[in-house]
Amino acid sequence: MIRAALPSIALLLAAPLSAQGLPDVIDDYERFTEQHPREAGRSDPSSAREGWPRESPAAMAERRAGLVALRDRLAAIESPPDGEDAINRDYLGELIGWRIEGIDFDERRFAFVAHEGFYNTPYYTARSVTVRNEADARAWIARLATLPAYFAEQRANLERGIATGWTQPEVVVNVAVGVLRNQIARPPAEDPLLDPLKALPVGSALLAEATRTIAEVVRPAQRDALAFIDGPYRARARPEIGIASIPEGRAYYHFLLRYYTTTDLTAEQIHDMGLAEVRRIRSEMEQVIAAAGFRGTFAEWLHYLRTDPRFYATSREQLLERASAVAKRIDGVLPRYFGMLPRQPFAVEPVPRDVEEGYTTARYAGGDFSRGFPGRFLVNTSHLDQRPLYELPALTLHEAAPGHHTHMARTGELTHLPAFRREGDMLAYREGWALYAERLGHEMGIYRDPYEAFGSLSTEMWRACRMVVDTGIHVMGWSYAQARACFTENTALADINIDTELARYIGAPGGAVAYKVGELKIVELRRRAEQRLDDRFDIRAFHDLILAQGQVPMRVLENLVDRWIAERSARQR
């Protein structure tokens, strides 16, 4: 298929405001975001065959001009009546507005946020590159050779951050340094950057050239980045962990809350919601402990869960096998709760060892069914003594099915929706659904004993504490010890998971609260539907409705559910 040429910024700026309709603006936006995925709300690197994301101030100013042109064209279009066009127009307008606002805050001054950062972009890209012939192989090698320029641009962004007081605190610097050291320590011949070329025969001249490029070009760029972050940047790391301590930090945090939650909730409101959830979940935890017949304090129960060897795998392979078994057990129940399930399967794989040290417990990585790639449920198999087996059911429900994999694979099949609804990174919707999937596991019978039930409540408490901790750190001046206490006193999370997560919340403010905000809205909407429809409520149809939207703001989802309730009520009278 021949793809239409991407519109230049000049063409976007020159387009008459009234010359095109909504489909044309959407098409131009989609082409624009093929070059700039982050401006579509996506976190994936550029999908271009050559080069790396351009994120200098000049490039961002050009990008902003393109977004403003699209926003103005969109605003000139008469608002459609209720329906998909109305949803698309309003949501696209919000999305463009959020990205303009983010550019105006000069967010690229934070070129890394703990285990996520510019240093990982080449590795994430390598996992999505397909080399089919010699030309593809040479293109990938040439791309690797341009990495020093990309790293230099990111260093300039970090230097601008130093000059303006926008730096990460030391706890985040430590994680970035650890990731870079692990990448540098790997022998070039074993570097995952060679993975796109693994089909080449051993001894191939192209493989040898790629290995030399990593050793002679990529490694020096990584060493320079490490020296800068561990040296001059560390020396200017901000003393306070909260984002409110930097210039315009409070305003930036409130922007992030609006963007990630798609609501107008304030930090104080979210903090109070989190405290209420902590109290509710703690009460349910106490009931589970009593049902288990445990005689002791809550702290003694947590110590028991954290230290008894029966709750931990003895090998990386065993942990993966247990996760796979849980996934198949869930598969057997899904048809009772969903009328539409995706065709794409998922694999259970370990988190790559070059990033596992600073990586979260588990994560979902989407595949591409059209190209033969499954979704991937990534399980962190390091530090086995801190990866409790009783948490695996909740993690699998969240990251795989019916959480992220079911949602994202199903969304990929909704080809009638524009790409910004299928491929966006709308946290309140995406993570809210996945957290709801954990809760649904109780109803589905996935948690087989008090320990797995407690593991579910512990992971839910983890997300409730996020609401309290994220707002506490970034607005209320909480210390690291204060933030850590919410987790150590209320969850069974292991120390390594707590510290990994705290570094993530500190380095990337706002996003952590969106999980619970989204989940609570979905729970509220389900209860509303159950109460109004009574015995006419169909759980499969409700879930299918949620998964048929791709991703939309919470207020849009609420309107859609209310309309669904009204339609079913009228049809069944």
Q: Looking at 185, 204, 239, which one is the last position of a domain?
A: 239
- Is 535 a member of any domain? no
Exposed, middle or buried: residue 9 (CB in 10 Å: 0-12, 13-18, 19+)? middle
- Is 153 a member of any domain? yes
pLDDT score for 337: 98
Q: Beta strand pairing status for 375-379 and 346-350?
A: parallel
Give the Cα separation of 98 and 100 in Å (integer): 5
Alpha helices, DSSP H, located in 117-203: 121-126, 134-145, 147-164, 170-185
My answer on whether 196 and 178 are in the same domain is yes
pLDDT score for 356: 84
Domain count along the chain: 3
DSSP state of 291: H
My answer on whether 81 and 136 are in the same domain is no
Question: Which domain does 185 fall in, by range?
Answer: 112-239
My answer on whether 427 and 471 are in the same domain is yes
Contact assessment for residue 435 and residue 245, using Cβ atoms and an 8 Å cutoff: no
Quote the tokens at residue 373.
């790639």
- Is 52 a member of any domain? yes
Give the Cα separation of 15 and 269 in Å (integer): 42
My answer on whether 126 and 228 are in the same domain is yes
My answer on whether 64 and 180 are in the same domain is no
pLDDT score for 572: 63
Quote the tokens at residue 357.
């040290």
My answer on whether 157 and 182 are in the same domain is yes
Give the Cα separation of 139 and 127 in Å (integer): 15
**Strand, coil or helix: 553:** coil
- What is the DSSP track for 379-437? E--SSGGGSBGGGHHHHHHHHSTTTHHHHHHHHHT-TTS-HHHHS---HHHHHHHHHHH
Contact assessment for residue 158 and residue 234, using Cβ atoms and an 8 Å cutoff: no
My answer on whether 97 and 156 are in the same domain is no
Q: Looking at 44, 72, 104, which one is the last position of a domain?
A: 104
Give the Cα separation of 158 and 167 in Å (integer): 8
H or E element at residue 2:
none
- Is 550 a member of any domain? no
Give the torsion sign (CA, 340, 344, 348, 349).
negative
Exposed, middle or buried: residue 275 (CB in 10 Å: 0-12, 13-18, 19+)? middle
My answer on whether 172 and 147 are in the same domain is yes
Q: Looking at 213, 239, 265, which one is the last position of a domain?
A: 239
Q: Beta strand pairing status for 346-350 and 116-117?
A: unpaired
My answer on whether 137 and 281 are in the same domain is no
My answer on whether 95 and 127 are in the same domain is no
pLDDT score for 19: 42
- Is 200 a member of any domain? yes
DSSP state of 39: G
List beta partners, residue 377.
Answer: 348, 364
Say what the pTM is. 0.87
My answer on whether 484 and 396 are in the same domain is yes
Give the Cα separation of 387 and 395 in Å (integer): 11
Sheet with 346-350: list strands edge to edge: 346-350, 375-379, 362-365
- Is 413 a member of any domain? yes
Contact assessment for residue 42 and residue 35, using Cβ atoms and an 8 Å cutoff: no
My answer on whether 89 and 34 are in the same domain is yes
Per-residue pLDDT of the chain (573 residues; tens, 9 = 90+): 333 444 555 555 545 444 468 999 999 999 998 887 766 554 444 445 557 989 999 999 999 999 999 999 999 998 777 788 999 999 999 999 999 999 999 999 999 998 889 999 999 899 888 898 999 999 999 999 999 999 999 999 999 999 999 999 999 999 999 999 999 999 999 999 999 998 888 789 999 999 999 999 999 999 999 999 999 999 999 999 999 999 999 999 999 999 999 999 999 999 999 999 999 999 999 999 999 999 999 999 999 998 999 999 999 999 999 999 999 999 999 999 999 999 999 999 999 887 788 678 899 988 888 878 899 999 999 999 989 999 999 999 999 999 999 999 999 999 999 999 988 778 999 999 999 999 999 999 999 999 999 999 999 999 999 999 999 999 999 999 999 999 998 888 788 889 989 999 999 999 999 999 999 999 999 999 999 999 999 999 999 999 999 999 999 999 999 999 999 998 866
- Is 567 a member of any domain? no
